[in-house]
Structure 1
Amino acid sequence: MAPDTTGGPTGPTAGAGRGPGEGSGGRVAAQAAEITLDPAAVTALREELGTVARQTVAAIMEEVPAYDAPFQGRMGRVIERAVQVSLESFVELAAEGGPPGRARPVGVGVTAARELGQVEARQGRPVDALLAAYRVGARVSWRELSRSAVAAGVDAATLGRFAELVFTYIDELSAASVAGHNAESASAERERQVHVHRLTRGLLGAEPEATLRREAEEARWTPPRTLTALLVPRDRLPTTLGLLDPRTLTLTEDLPDADGAPPPATHAVALVPETGGPARSRLLQLLEGRDAIAGPARPWHRVVESYARAVRALPHGQVDADAVLPQVLLAADPAARADLRQAALAPFAELPEATADRLAETLRAWLLLQGRRELVAEELHVHPQTVRYRMSQVRELVGDRLSDPDEVLAMILALA
């Protein structure tokens, strides 16, 4: 009475091939031993078994849509045979009779039912479909057999025990199939998570796109158009993930370096699909107050660029890494910045440190505020005449460099 999707040695036909001697569990065997049918009833039931098996398969196909297509053609005949073998084992035991204590297995067994649950999980079908098929099979089989049994004069007490046998048998098969399905699903999910972890590391390790696509397929993860890297404190990751796309990938331990920059020891990374463009503002709102930072959206196979940006922007304390691009850029090569500062501010080197700092501060404000003296004075909290005096000192030191755009750029970067 159980559907099969393989027709091979792990389906119900395996149990059917073993016959009634290697079938179901103890409860069913004990109940079967208590039933005794007279020869006329046995003959009548045997004549109906083929018809009952066909009707059972037809009812399952009609009432359980998941098995309509799989039971077409040869597979339907395989299942039909499995149903008939199970019914034959019931009738055979009832024909033999025996003491109530006898415990002889019957029908397609629990081992085959467990294997069938595993097959269904591998096919991606929920166990509910299989249990529904069992119920339909039991109902139709019992309905048709009971008609033949009544016509053959089987008494009500024997008929009742026969019904109990059929439904106990289905309960055992159902329990075995659920166990098999759960075990296979758990195993498959563990394997998938291994591939997901490998994919996430591959993305953050800048593996080639072809490699990443293979890993995504193995992980059963459909690549989005874009991914955005988030850095989130580990203790806030679970609640943050609850707000994000379920396809989000995460890595919590041993984060890789980001283009030479060491990752934070206190944060995990989340790779969030489709949060570029208008969706970015919504993402940034969700991250407010979570001490997280979002890199820019990038094509999914280049999300390592987003990760590197987020790592470099994290010290600046902004949720949006794009809001601190100048700071990130200037911090990208500290040694180069130090060399630039030394070269650009060389004229200040011979001054006392306090004087050099004061003039450098004034020059910075002057450059950033485009020489507007009143604004510079306000920024520095000094009198405009003080600004005039200091800038005259600066011009004596740097000469006509303030008229050279390249020199001005170098000084702005050095003083940033």
Structure 2
Amino acid sequence: MVFVVEYRSFGMLATLPRSLGKALRPYVGHAAAAMIQEVQRSVDAYSLPLRGVFGRVLVVSCERAVRQYVDCIGDPDVRHDAWAGFYRMRGRIEFTEGRSLEPLHDSATIGARAGWRAMRPIVRGLGVGPDVVALAAESVFVYVDELCATTIEGYQEAQAKADGAVPARRRRLLELIAQAPEGSACSIASLAEGAGWRVPKTAAMVALQRTPRAQDFPAGLLDDSVLLDLQAAEPYLLAADPDADLAPLKDELIGWRAAVSPVVPLADAPAALRTARRALLLTSDDAPGPVIWCRDHLATLWLLAEDFLGAELAKQSLDPFTSLSEKQQKRLSETLLAWLETRGGAPEIAQRLGVHPQTVRNRLRQLEELFGDRLKDADDRLGMQLALRAQRLMRAHRRDEGSPEN
């Protein structure tokens, strides 16, 4: 089955004033030049000199994209056959020259932004209303996504002639979802159709880690709905229903560790994958079982999401400790955290810490001298508690890694 691009952008453009298209037509070359310059500056794969087939294809692609966009403004009768044929050919060229879909999508998104930046002052200078400007801007990115989807059709046509086309498509699809370029829904749907994969509304991203004693990953036990890339530098997979999809792997992940993100909308897949990879870093090799479920460690992952934020919070919330020795800081930190977590008296805190109640009373007096009224302020107490918990978690993480504590 061939995926059919709906080309919704053409209908959007047709509702704009035709006078806007006429006014923008002299600036097609200006916008295309801005696109080419920014793409060559920002995307390594397209930074080559503008010579030969490469140069002609890049220049014509940008010029044709802008011209078709402008021609469609206010005109519902513009034909798109030749335009679509050209970008399918562009997709075949991309595959033939060995480029992946990542630079293609990057160049389209970056080029769209550059082209709109070049055109925006002209549009506003024409005195059109804000609704027209907003629709013109929205249509740019819908148009570019559909252009990418058309290019993917050609890419798939060329890819279908190569060995292992479907597995390669599935890896490309997973790569695109994991990166989620701006406005990629149409492109994801196009790739999914070619890969025979049904796009779910939500999914979990699973980060994988091979240990030295690892056997081959049991990919054959996974359902076809699971997308998997074992060739990536950091292997990973996508599962729409992780509890069910990963169940067959329960006793088969010999030498492998896996961290499963929460189930999220597909647009949040990049953040979910970062969370899963973070979970692998923050958990030790001797964690119970090979599968780590991030949903069971959300507070820890949140507190340790960015080391520098934890350090800044500690600097701000625990600044009275800076005048103390490391030993004093450690004793008072554990006492302060126990008090914040329990708000109990000296006997209860003493039992929790395994020290004498009088020792706790002495420490609490020291804390009152150091922090004063800040101990009565709810926001200050929350900052202290979060900072102390983050410090405790980070110390445990460093011990797991075998690193000396500071």
For normalisation by structure 2, the TM-score amounts to: 0.48
Q: Which of the two has higher C-alpha Rg?
A: 1
For normalisation by structure 1, the TM-score amounts to: 0.47
